[in-house]
Amino acid sequence: MNKANMLYACGKSKSMYYGENQNEIVMHFLDSVSSYTQNKNARILGTGIVRCEVSSVLFDLLNKNGIPTHYKKNIGEGKMLVEKLEMIKLEVIPRNYAAGSIVRNFPVQYGQKFEPPLLKLDLKYNNDPMLNDDYIVALGIASNKELKVIKDLAHELNSFLTLFLKQRDIQLVDFKFEVGRRQDGTIVIGDEISPDGMRMWDVHTLESLDKDVFRFDKGDLVEAYKEVARRILL
């Protein structure tokens, strides 16, 4: 790789550099795993490639079903080619069941189902503080019009993934994703959608199939990720 093509390292989980032109980005998924809440960091071989494979399958599926993403193609070895976006500094988090921070911070019972699903918006800064619409607009992160698009996209994505995964005996508890603007201002899904940023349980056993395996020492993280990959490829 030509160092002149390097854009930046995305946290510890990915590196990015220009593709054949500056409208395309190569995202290289790294074997780095971290948990802010548990103050844990590790390099677990194989996790990067599996995250890339799962993201590629899901992004391709979303594109084919009219839910726009930045994804173009998987180019192998844990790398995917994507459209360059102006990323919006938000983490968008749909919640279908209570787990994680919402249980720690609010008087809700673990496993409680939310009907309709909750939608949480966090600022990608420091310790990712939660925002409301007024803060987002005042800080110049997104306009009211863009916020409506982001929320509509979040609910559409959540409904689609919930049904898709349920058909594969996976219960989608919650997940996070990011969005960005194309050159014409259109907002689409960016970054990744993988077990690294999703909380998923087996519908029969409620066994974790996500990064909680790493957070709480529940077993082999690579095998959990591979099980998700195996099921979505059915």
pLDDT in tens, 18-53: 888 889 999 999 999 988 776 888 999 999 999 999
Q: Which of 180, 200, 197 is nearest to 189 (CA)?
A: 180
**In the chain, which residues have pLDDT < 50?**
1, 3-4, 9
CATH 3.30.200.20 fits 3-83, yes or no: yes
What is the largest distance, in Å, between two alpha-carbon atoms of the chain? 51
Q: What kind of fold does domain 86-220 have according to CATH?
A: D-amino Acid Aminotransferase; Chain A, domain 1 (3.30.470)
For 208-232, the pLDDT digits (tens) are 999 999 999 999 999 999 999 999 9
Looking at residue 11, what is its pLDDT? 56
Q: In 3-state terms, what secondary structure has residue 55? A: helix
Distance of CA 124 to the CA centre of its chain: 13
Looking at residue 5, what is its pLDDT? 58
Per-domain residue ranges of the chain = 3-83, 86-220
Q: What is the pTM of this model?
A: 0.93
Whole-angstrom Cα distance, residue 169 to residue 225? Answer: 15
Whole-angstrom Cα distance, residue 209 to residue 189? Answer: 23
